[in-house]
Chain A
């Protein structure tokens, strides 16, 4: 039962263009969402988060959009840089619960110079 899904295993983008990573969820109880970035042989690094009371959160080149009615969120990276090449994980949790994160399968982003 995959409650958080990242249906695109990989994405390739040219440097300077926009990268859009997508994430869908099924559990309507999720009310907090996070994006993590992971390089090989390292742990996930927190990027940006959004609460369900918002529909957009922006931090520098990273913007996360949340569409609650569609149970869909996306991460926009603009402009994309070669150093952004990594695996991106979407994660969700239920506030007031134990804080355990439910992760998607990840999307591998490759930014070409």
Chain B
């Protein structure tokens, strides 16, 4: 059973470009969470999605950030017009149910030049 997959593992963007981060949950998991880790900090919750629904986006910046988890395909975290402060590691986690243990992917390291 493959674990949570994220791609790309590393992403370099210039200021103003768009970044698209992908997450494929573990097989059988329909709950996806996105977290961000800034340098020297812990992980911070961004958004929680189920198939085709955003359940909790209380940790998402109000502008430039969006997330989706379509019926088919991976979950996408999209950052428009990236700025240097967006440079961080972005982790996706999945679980079979809302209160079950979350299993994390390897992360996408975004660097904005």
Which one of B4, B42, B59, B105 lies within 8 Å of A100 (CB-CB)? Answer: B59
Q: Does A85 contact B (CB under 8 A)?
A: no
Nearest Cβ in chain B — how far from A41, in angstroms? 8
B42's nearest neighbour on chain A, judged by CB, is A103
Q: Which of A36, A49, A98, A106 has the most CB of B within 10 A?
A: A98
- CA–CA, A99 and B91, complex, Å: 16
A residues apposed to B, CB below 8 Å: 4, 6, 32, 34, 36, 41-46, 49, 89, 91, 95-96, 98-106
Q: Which of A96, A100, A101 has the most CB of B within 10 A?
A: A100
Q: Which residues of A contact B55 (CB under 8 A)?
A: 98
Nearest Cβ in chain A — how far from B83, in angstroms? 24
Nearest Cβ in chain A — how far from B92, in angstroms? 8
Is the beta-carbon distance between B104 and A43 smaller than 8 angstroms? yes
A32's nearest neighbour on chain B, judged by CB, is B99
| Contact A43/B45 with A95-B99, A98-B56 known, Cβ cut-off 8 Å | no
- CA–CA, A100 and B41, complex, Å: 17
Q: Does B17 contact A (CB under 8 A)?
A: no
Which one of A6, A32, A43, A46 lies within 8 Å of B106 (CB-CB)? Answer: A43
- CA–CA, A6 and B107, complex, Å: 22
Nearest Cβ in chain A — how far from B79, in angstroms? 19
Is the beta-carbon distance between B43 and A103 smaller than 8 angstroms? yes
Nearest Cβ in chain A — how far from B102, in angstroms? 6
Q: Which residues of B contact A96 (CB under 8 A)?
A: 99
- CA–CA, A53 and B39, complex, Å: 34
Nearest Cβ in chain A — how far from B78, in angstroms? 20
Nearest Cβ in chain A — how far from B100, in angstroms? 8
| Contact A99/B4 with A36-B104, A89-B43, A104-B42 known, Cβ cut-off 8 Å | no
**A44-B43, A99-B102, A103-B43 given; 5 more Cβ-contact pairs under 8 Å:** A36-B104, A42-B107, A95-B99, A100-B33, A100-B45
B56's nearest neighbour on chain A, judged by CB, is A98
Q: Does B1 contact A (CB under 8 A)?
A: no
Q: Mark B59-98, 1 if CB is under 8 A from A, else 0.
A: 1000000000000000000000000000000010101001
